[in-house]
């Protein structure tokens, strides 16, 4: 598990390489401009926060995206019972996207 500071360092390295390579641009109305140093620092913050959130909460979003609709789940429970619903529907999704362990 990485810390926010470690993600910031990782993002700075990745984005600096991009900026030194092809450059990083922004669109302001219909003007294409190179990003400023302030923009660059904000990109690092956003990048690191995004990676940290994905690490901490990505499993929740991934599970939410894969659970079938309530109707499908209720139908499955009606036909197969609660235990089958747990093992066949819920458990595989939870195992595919495990909750990260605390450090």
Partner 1 sequence: MAGSLIKITSASTTSNVSTIDIGGANWDSSYDVYMVKLYNLEQSGTTDVRLKARILKSDNSADSTANYDYAYKGLRTGAGFDNLADTNQTEFTNLTYLFRGSTSYGANAIFYLFNFNNASEYNFITVEGNGYGYDGSELMGAMGGGVHTVAQVGKGLQFSLTTDSISNAYIDLYGLKK
For partner 1, the closer of residues 34 and 103 by Cβ is 34
| Least distance (Å) between residue 75 CB and partner 1 | 12
Please list, in sequence order, all residues whose beta carbon lies within 8 angstroms of the beta carbon of residue 77, skipping any fewer than 6 positions away: 85
For partner 1, the closer of residues 38 and 95 by Cβ is 38
The answer to whether 33 touches 26, Cβ cutoff 8 Å, is yes
**Contact pattern for partner 1 over residues 26 through 65, marking x by CB under 8 A:** xxxxx-x--x--xx--xx-xx--xx-------------xx
Q: For the chain, where are the E strands, in sequence order?
A: 25-28, 31-34
- Percentages (nearest 5) of helix, strand, coil residues in the chain: 70, 10, 20
Q: Is 11 in the site for partner 1 (CB under 8 A)?
A: no
Contact positions vs partner 1 (CB under 8 A): 22, 24-30, 32, 35, 38-39, 42-43, 45-46, 49-50, 64-71
């Amino acid at each position: 598990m990485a810390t926010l500071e470690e993600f910031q360092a990782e993002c700075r390295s990745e984005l600096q390489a991009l900026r030194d390579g092809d450059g990083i641009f922004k669109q302001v109305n219909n003007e294409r401009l190179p990003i400023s140093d302030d923009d660059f620092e904000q990109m690092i913050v956003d990048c690191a926060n995004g990676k940290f959130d994905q690490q901490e909460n990505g499993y929740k979003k991934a599970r939410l995206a894969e659970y079938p609709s309530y109707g499908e789940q209720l139908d499955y429970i009606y036909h197969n019972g609660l235990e089958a619903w747990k093992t066949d529907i819920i458990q595989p999704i939870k195992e595919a996207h495990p909750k990260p362990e605390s450090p």
